A and B are shown apart, each in its own frame.
Chain A
């Protein structure tokens, strides 16, 4: 049997394990270790020996430490009430427009995303803050929950973003450049969602009534309350990109700043700190178990040579690069039907990345291609968080909105998905959208 065949068999077994609800990290680990054992001639010694270092190598990785730090930053922001300050601020400015409260929720999601690396946390936090308001102003259930579920994805599309960190580490790409590249596409995503709300409420004004107009003095006051958020964001993103601090230090500064803000202005006390610590622990463990499993799986796949052989095959089979890219994006959307975004990145990047890097897209330089593909992959795995049947954000928001049937929420998300597809197409044909800032502020 060729290595590639074994690689495909490994994937087959992995799918079976996933179907029967084995935790994704454990399933990846089992298949990786099994494949490795088989490929090294059925000897236990090599696999046992490589396991000696697996956990320490992964868990002491300096770059990966940014993940718990970004999660801690988000926890502090949540427990310090920064989410409601953001929401109050944005709705003070645009709440009086038709559909304005839903747009404000999306804007606040983007703001929260700027200091939080996770989409689930953004959806859950902003859901708790904005849903009661949306219901108070008699927004339709599908618009309210749809906007929040989609808005939650801004948590990963606006940097900092955990999937981008993972992508950077898998591809030895610069975290700072990837974060910088995600800024404009993230803002386009936010605007796209707001436009969707505008269109929906123009068609059906009853779905999203206007809120009260807020006097300017009040607007300025609410703006002052959230400026620290902007400062934290700038410190983190500019600090990393400018090379003033490394990502881990920047994440630590961001977490410290959010923690101090939460204690001084948000009234966070010991209880909040403890809840933040435990919340970080849970979300981090969830991610790192998948990372441990992916490590073993990638080793197994590397030994099988399947990724390299597949990349060579794609390069030689004469398909147009654009077609290959579209196929890759479709595979992501398909995988997103059943899989978590992080697991998707970990599973597919080792395979797709060599393929993409071996193809020519409009003569783009390798360094640019690598960043552009990272942002494209981020956008397309993010869709999996909201599209049926298992969009995680949809479940989180739907659980918060007890009176809205799940079907309504999924229906509410569809228009936002449309804007996602438009944005992905834009980014596919105009890579400059992601590369503009990276080129302009070349360090």
Chain B
């Protein structure tokens, strides 16, 4: 029978956790379940041209059949979905990813016009990694230069009193070792690829029962026309590998990266500073303005920020996050 080849594009190199441990297994699974009827042709590292921010447009326009990206790279377009990037929202990728799937389908589908979402997920949450600074309190953080992950992440760091600096992740190790920045707000998942555990000697974390100070949303989306062109049997295979369950699986996989990456830092006898409950409350309080500003942005687009934020929180609760 005819084999349908799906062009899958993303922005990370083939060595990335996502490529190796999420995308390849997903592709193997659909190939197996379709009896070889579906095949992925993967284009990593933006091989189809353009920038990571343009990936969603590429799948909408049919340049790629499936893409994986951080939609908020396009500032101003995913304001409603951005709720999960607000400070101290999400504890685990597994729970957060499921909440995001529900939330987006309930509240934010207009932000994904022209694409078919296969799964949505988050990473394991950003923690703070420092070259040599010890940060246990808000006061310790004051004036420190930190690499910021996202737009909201940048505002969060500023609200906490740090100086956010934008830079691409690969530049982080060199910048920390040369004290261009004092540290970085980055999820454990990414640290392995850059050997950040060797350069950073101290890590400031929130306790496992608390939400992380920053996160990023990811979507895995398909071109709807391509989906519709598939015979019913193959559609079924795609359906079976997308949705809430798939989102949960990806989230869980991302959580598992943390364990491996964190162990390297433990083995190197790095210092871990975990925020006390009292300190944690101070940090949450300090960043409330970020939520307020986000609600204003939603209002400017005719949405009800307060209701959306509460809904996101309720969904996170539903999944015991």
| Interface residues of A, Cβ cutoff 8 Å to B | 43, 45-46, 49-50, 52-54, 57, 172, 174, 176, 242-244, 246, 295-296, 298-299, 302-303, 305, 443
Contacts and interface: CB of A to CB of B under 8 A. Distances in A.
A49 B58 contact: yes
B174 A443 contact: yes
A242 B48 contact: no
A362 B14 CA distance: 24
Interface string B44-55: 010111110010
B47 A302 contact: yes
B78 interface: no
21 contacts: A43-B62, A46-B62, A49-B62, A50-B58, A50-B61, A52-B57, A52-B61, A53-B50, A53-B51, A57-B50, A57-B51, A172-B13, A172-B45, A242-B178, A244-B178, A244-B180, A299-B48, A299-B49, A302-B47, A302-B48, A303-B7
A243 B180 contact: yes
A53 B57 contact: yes
Contacts of B61: 45-46, 49-50, 52
A253 B238 CA distance: 52
A50 B49 CA distance: 8
What's the dominant secondary structure at chain B's contact region? loop
A302 B174 contact: no
A243 B49 contact: no
Nearest to B63: A50
B178 A53 contact: no
Nearest to A302: B47
Contacts of A302: 43, 47-48
Given A57-B54, A302-B43, A443-B177, A296 B62 contact: no
B45 A54 contact: no
Contacts of B49: 50, 53-54, 57, 295-296, 298-299
B41 interface: yes
Given A46-B62, A443-B174, 19 more contacts: A43-B62, A45-B61, A46-B61, A46-B63, A49-B57, A50-B48, A50-B58, A52-B61, A53-B57, A57-B54, A172-B13, A172-B170, A176-B174, A243-B174, A243-B177, A243-B180, A296-B49, A299-B47, A302-B43
Contacts of A298: 47, 49
A57 B51 CA distance: 6
Contact of B54 (A53, A176, A296, A305): A53
A305 B62 CA distance: 19
B34 interface: no
Nearest to B9: A302
A57 B47 CA distance: 13
A49 B61 CA distance: 6
Contact of B178 (A49, A57, A305, A443): A443
A246 B178 CA distance: 12
B175 interface: yes
B178 A243 contact: yes
Interface in B169-184: 170-171, 174-175, 177-178, 180
A242 B179 CA distance: 10
A169 to B, nearest CB: 12
Contacts of A43: 62
Nearest to A299: B49
Contacts of B51: 53, 57
Nearest to B170: A172
A54 B61 CA distance: 14
B14 to A, nearest CB: 10
Contacts of B63: 46, 49-50
A46 to B, nearest CB: 5
A282 B134 CA distance: 51
Contacts of B58: 49-50, 53
Nearest to A47: B63
Contacts of B57: 49, 52-53
A398 B41 CA distance: 51
A246 B63 CA distance: 32
Nearest to A295: B49
Contacts of B41: 305
Contacts of A244: 178, 180
Nearest to A62: B168
Interface in B90-149: none
Contacts of A172: 13, 45, 170
Nearest to B174: A243
B87 to A, nearest CB: 27
A108 B174 CA distance: 33
Contacts of A53: 49-51, 54, 57-58
B247 to A, nearest CB: 27
Most buried by A among B45, B61, B63: B63
Contacts of A246: 167, 171
Pairs A-B, 6 closest by C-beta atoms: A49-B61, A243-B178, A302-B47, A243-B174, A299-B49, A50-B63
B175 A243 contact: yes
B151 to A, nearest CB: 17
Interface string B22-52: 0000000000000000000101010111110
Contacts of B180: 243-244
Interface string B281-309: 00000000000000000000000000000
A52 B54 CA distance: 10
A298 B167 CA distance: 26
Give the interface centre of B41, B47, B177, B180 by most chain A CB atoms within 10 Å: B47
A41 to B, nearest CB: 11
Nearest to B177: A443
B175 to A, nearest CB: 6
B226 to A, nearest CB: 11
Nearest to B168: A62
A296 B171 CA distance: 27
A208 B63 CA distance: 61
Contacts of B178: 242-244, 443
B44 to A, nearest CB: 10
A324 to B, nearest CB: 21
Interface in B150-176: 167, 170-171, 174-175
A180 to B, nearest CB: 12
Find the residue from B41, B57, B61, B177 having the highest chain A CB count within 10 A: B61
Given A45-B61, A242-B178, A243-B180, A54 B170 contact: no
Nearest to A58: B49
A296 B50 CA distance: 10
Contacts of A305: 41
A174 B180 CA distance: 16
A172 B169 CA distance: 12
